[in-house]
Structure 1
């Protein structure tokens, strides 16, 4: 095949075998062979797979593996070098990578890691239930390192109230996630009657969102996942009292991560996330949480959150809004290993996510800050301790955006984390009280102390070799005594100073033997040399 300049292209395409190839590749030839043997029919195979169930000879498979024929040693040296080839493939657009994979089996296998490194999924009814999708995920999930999971809020995601088919009364139920597949003895929604009502009245998207085994099955293929992005756009604060399918899908998503050994997962991002979403994602208070749930999420080192902030009128008392307390409860399992944290309020400006939450007592009805210290220390019924402020012992980089807070709250956070903080980035932050100098006083004060400890001025002076004679009134011998028989304090002081070599004496000793050179160099400037 020749290009437009008349030169021979390094890729020589031969006739493609019958129906053994499609548009997407497998992980490797070995995994492709095993995956192909599990399905029937060559038309369902993905590009790069070899259908071993057919009657082809080994010579046919060999021609597939040597699909690229190149006479250029320079190109082969470049293509066979892993670093050069991977760098080249990482700069190609996704469209070009997909076209390159159609050239031959070798280019298909080489381009697959770069093409499927980032995977985006928009949750639908058949996302994790369609066999073809799961089969493709088994073949390509090994390459996925970043997963973007989209759960948009639409009119179809809001659930109507359950109605009793006989009486017409509204029904309520408590959802309990089922990790195992439902059976006749264990219905999906607790009992047979509730399961039948939910199956008839709720849409198929709801049942797909509550299919926890399907989520676990899908995430088991993402063994090299490092970065998980969850997006729930389109939230309307006016519908906060209505149940949403998005919340049930978040529960299944959290359980799927906890049930699989995703040891490479260290980065988590929510952009955006609605207030109730943090409740269902919390490993401590979420539905179906287990004692080991928090240990799974504590491995996260990089966390990004863009949360929707409801109006201040949503708070019914002097305490903080419920979604702010949910945010703090969600952040507590991440305190141990978190090194990078980025946070932003969406909508109105909200409080600093690190500050101590304000909670009122349900019995006394008074603000905790107005109580006496002895009352705050009690932990009896009706009197609760103030929650401990969030503290991240390994936090290095912080980015806060669209927040309204006081300088004292920023100062308290900086003071408690000044030993580990390396970078603090504040964007669109409004100070309700105080100044920025007060806010960053703990960091600037420590920086000044550090500079004073590092620098010092040590002057070096040259003095004449002859000592200045003392006045006659101060000339006393070391053994002389005054009329009372006590040694003079002045003579002691002079003898002590005489015994200790001065700086000038040390300099003269260091310069002994160099008098002639010094007179030639500095004779005109220092006549006493």
Structure 2
């Protein structure tokens, strides 16, 4: 009778057999194997919770059983997906004073002192706190409960990759703060205080204003040591919902915030991928050369404007493009750029970048991709010869015209020996850990955090 379980345990000890079984078994079956015996539990638990998907709710970080379960499995998690979609439940109506009926405005300051996990967020005005408690749903108080986020994130000591997804925002609500934004503030504050020394990859699939709450400096509740945590990030993948950049609300301030966010990582990033969801958008790395930020044309001044003692305000200085010092891979997808803008971008990064990716991007105004990529073709370009690859023809928009398809990849063409070394470098992570496959759908392959899985 004892030979059966022993043989079954020996079968699971073989890593090749175990990985093949993981591919064909469902998550429910893997959980059942994990509960079969303590020996199987030790073999299965790490693989089962390696990638964990967390959908934020009002009880995610405030219920004690969930925090206790997270403390048991937190050290196994290496890739955490924080998922908090916009919905009717995340919309915050204006605060109304119960006696006067007037709208109340309040200045939010994160309360970061550690206390009870079930502690309610504190506010400077007790009366305001009572109004917030009575008029705002429990989801708001859970999202603004910074100590609960800190208490939860401290268990993820081995996390390497963090993914944040906030889909579903109504374009009309781009300038209205909702519960999702408060959760991003709490999450960022918690990450800056958690012992996550292995974190090196950040993936963002967020709404445009999220970068205001995720920026590591000059943010809500930012600490002096915040730069040290975000300086660990070596790889970043960003996907942002686009909007009408040439309409009545072009959202130039959102574009500036995105560029400022990326500028904070200019000295540490080694791999950057930026993609617009929906319609094409400007390149956030080089906004200074974009037509949206072109200085206004000089107009003829009237006599009183010239002779007035009040001197006119000077023109706003142009924004400087972001230059990444250690970048080795750069992708700007589904974007609109002009030839001079692309030429400046590749010229300022050709000394370090080994591959450019402009998939589904188009050129506006005059110019061709040959002109845009000319800095890579001259005899002084770093890395010798470069080769151009195009996998598909870009669908042209009615308002954006391009006479040639964009190159999906643009990389140097080295010798055979150098190519072999380069393949090894691309197949391995920069810190020596094998790179994860980018095509994996983490929502389907990640494990939803469930306190019952203990």
Q: Normalising to structure 1: TM-score of the pair?
A: 0.64
Partner residue, 1:367: 295
Aligned-partner Cα distance in 1 for 2:16–2:290: 58
Aligned-partner Cα distance in 2 for 1:226–1:141: 12
Equivalent position to 1:216, from 142, 150, 157: 150
Aligned-partner Cα distance in 2 for 1:151–1:214: 16
SS at match of 1:345: strand
Q: Count matched residues.
A: 369
Aligned-partner Cα distance in 1 for 2:3–2:264: 53
Instruction: Tell me the CA shift for residue 353 of structure 1.
Output: 1.7
1:244-393 to structure 2, matched below 5 A, reads 244-271=178-205, 273-313=206-246, 321-357=252-288, 367=295, 384-393=316-325
SS at match of 1:268: strand
Equivalent position to 2:113, from 166, 174, 180: 180
Q: Would you say 1:155 and 2:88 are equivalent positions?
A: yes
Q: What are structure 1's unaligned runs of at least 5 residues?
A: 2-9, 13-67, 372-380, 456-529
Larger radius of gyration: 1
Aligned-partner Cα distance in 2 for 1:192–1:124: 26
Tell which has more relative contact order, 1 or 2 (C-alpha 8 A, sep 6+).
2
Instruction: Tell me the CA shift for residue 182 of structure 1.
Output: 7.0
Partner residue, 1:199: 133
Instruction: Tell me the CA shift for residue 449 of structure 1.
Output: 9.1
Aligned-partner Cα distance in 1 for 2:110–2:257: 21
Partner residue, 1:117: 50
Aligned-partner Cα distance in 2 for 1:117–1:284: 30
Do the aligned partners of 2:121 and 2:144 also contact (CA within 8 Å) in 1?
no
Do the aligned partners of 1:302 and 1:338 also contact (CA within 8 Å) in 2?
yes
Q: Normalising to structure 2: TM-score of the pair?
A: 0.74
Change (3 A) 1:420 1:187: closer
Instruction: Tell me the CA shift for residue 275 of structure 1.
Output: 1.2
Aligned-partner Cα distance in 1 for 2:233–2:264: 9
Do the aligned partners of 2:282 and 2:290 also contact (CA within 8 Å) in 1?
no
> Residues 164-183 of structure 1: CA distance to partner in whole angstroms, max 9, x if unpaired?
11100001011000001579
Aligned-partner Cα distance in 2 for 1:449–1:262: 36
SS at match of 1:224: coil
SS at match of 2:168: coil
Instruction: Tell me the CA shift for residue 299 of structure 1.
Output: 1.4
Equivalent position to 2:6, from 40, 47, 69: 69
Partner residue, 1:430: 362
Aligned-partner Cα distance in 1 for 2:327–2:383: 22
Aligned-partner Cα distance in 1 for 2:334–2:263: 22
